[in-house]
Amino acid sequence: MTKILIDTLGSDLGAEEIIKGAGKALERHPELSVVLSGDTETIQKACSANGIPSDRTEILDAKEEITNYDSPAEVLFTKSGSSMMKGLSEVAMREDIFGMISCGNTGVLLPAAMKYLSGDIRVRPALAAVLPAENGSFTCLVDTGATIDCTPQMLHHFAHLGSDLMKEMYGVDDPKVGLLSNGAEETKGNKAVKETHILLKNDENINFVGNIEGNKALSGACDVLVCDGFAGNQVLKVTEGTAKRILTDIYKIGKRTGSTDIMNLFGQLMKIYDIGSLGGGIVLGVRKPVIKAHGNSNSEGIANITKMLLNMAENKAVFDKRDNKI
């Protein structure tokens, strides 16, 4: 049995939607049990309404919620009783809890995860997104928003974190690492990108394949795409927005023409390119997996993210073995 903790507060759609997602996950995965962090009364009502089995569900009472307007520097010390903080503390203390999901404030979740789940050596955490690439492969985009202004040393470190994830979770023996830039040539990029290129090129433990332009981000040219959090967040959102726009157009054409073939195509593409339902950002650099879900994740998204954690548990993904620090 794999146990995970789900923070029910901090969602744009409300705690009931998150709890409903937990219920879907429990129904689909009999090997799963959950700890739900949040308001006990709300959780009990939602569990009863959704027929969630009590023998596979624990409640961690925490009525205080961290909002998107809270300052990370303040709430780390003033909201220790919040569902996010109590959840992370519980995950840190208990060996039987494998990892955690939260829809809450990203700016708070990253330093809070570092506070409670740092390994013996503190490293700078990164937020990674694993996106569908060509030929059924996946690309780990790192960083996607944890650190906006990065030094070359940080980007070099992110390359190692991303490589470890792809080895452990997806079984990629020697992950190809690319560096996001505005041109494939070594001379392209800003100062940080050029210096990072040299570090990656000279690292014998990194399978560096060179600079990758934005239009090839999901081409399968690399298994790990390294960038600062500002650029990575833009790549993630533009990719999501473009996929949504194309899928919407295909759906409209299918409905207008009444074409079964087009609607079947729409259904197939939704399974691949519905970025919102694929999962969330994975916090790398901590000793247990923490996944940051979209703030507007629905119950299906939560169920899918739960499956990500189960896959990590099955593959025995290790999160605390990095021996270098920034």
What distance separates the 2 farthest-apart alpha carbons in the chain? 60
> Sorting pLDDT into bands at 50, 70 and 90, what band is 120?
low
**49 C-beta neighbours (distance < 10 Å), count:** 12
**Domain residue limits at 20:** 1-125+285-326
Do 143 and 224 meet the contact criterion of CB atoms below 8 Å apart? no
- CATH number of the domain to which 202 belongs: 3.40.718.10
Query: What does the pLDDT read at residue 274?
Result: 67
Residue 65 has pLDDT above 80, yes or no: yes
Closest C-alpha to 161, from 193, 123, 208, 107: 123
Query: What does the pLDDT read at residue 295?
Result: 86
Query: What does the pLDDT read at residue 75?
Result: 85
Are 23 and 102 within one domain?
Answer: yes
Higher pLDDT, 185 or 75: 185
Residue 119 has pLDDT above 80, yes or no: no
Are 134 and 245 within one domain?
Answer: yes
Mean pLDDT taken over the chain: 90
Are 139 and 178 within one domain?
Answer: yes
> Sorting pLDDT into bands at 50, 70 and 90, what band is 318?
low
**DSSP assignment letter at 275:** H
Are 236 and 206 within one domain?
Answer: yes
Query: What does the pLDDT read at residue 219?
Result: 92
User: Could you identify the residue written with the tokens 């739900």?
Assistant: 36
CA distance 222 to 155: 16
Query: What does the pLDDT read at residue 207?
Result: 97
Total residue length of the chain:
326
Query: What does the pLDDT read at residue 276?
Result: 56
**DSSP assignment letter at 256:** H
Query: H helices of the chain, where?
Result: 15-28, 40-49, 72-78, 83-93, 106-117, 152-170, 191-201, 229-257, 260-273, 275-278, 299-314
Are 147 and 244 within one domain?
Answer: yes
Token duo for residue 64? 């205080």
What average pLDDT does this structure show over 270-290? 78
- In this prediction, what percent of the chain has a pLDDT beyond 90? 65
Listing DSSP states for 45-105 in one string gives HHHHHTT--GGGEEEEE--B---TTS-HHHHHHH-TTBHHHHHHHHHHH-TTEEEEEE-S-
> CB burial class (10 A; 0-12, 13-18, 19+) of residue 241?
exposed
Are 139 and 260 within one domain?
Answer: yes
Are 178 and 259 within one domain?
Answer: yes
Query: What does the pLDDT read at residue 280?
Result: 78
Are 119 and 131 within one domain?
Answer: no
What average pLDDT does this structure show over 93-116? 92
Query: What does the pLDDT read at residue 324?
Result: 40
Do 222 and 137 meet the contact criterion of CB atoms below 8 Å apart? no
- In this prediction, what percent of the chain has a pLDDT beyond 70? 93
Query: What does the pLDDT read at residue 323?
Result: 44
What average pLDDT does this structure show over 249-276? 88
- Which range of 61-75, 104-118, 146-160, 265-279 scores highest in mean pLDDT? It is 146-160
pLDDT in tens, 126-170: 999 998 888 788 999 999 988 899 999 999 999 999 999 999 888
Are 134 and 267 within one domain?
Answer: yes
Are 136 and 257 within one domain?
Answer: yes
User: How many domains does one find in the chain?
Assistant: 2
Are 265 and 188 within one domain?
Answer: yes
Are 253 and 306 within one domain?
Answer: no
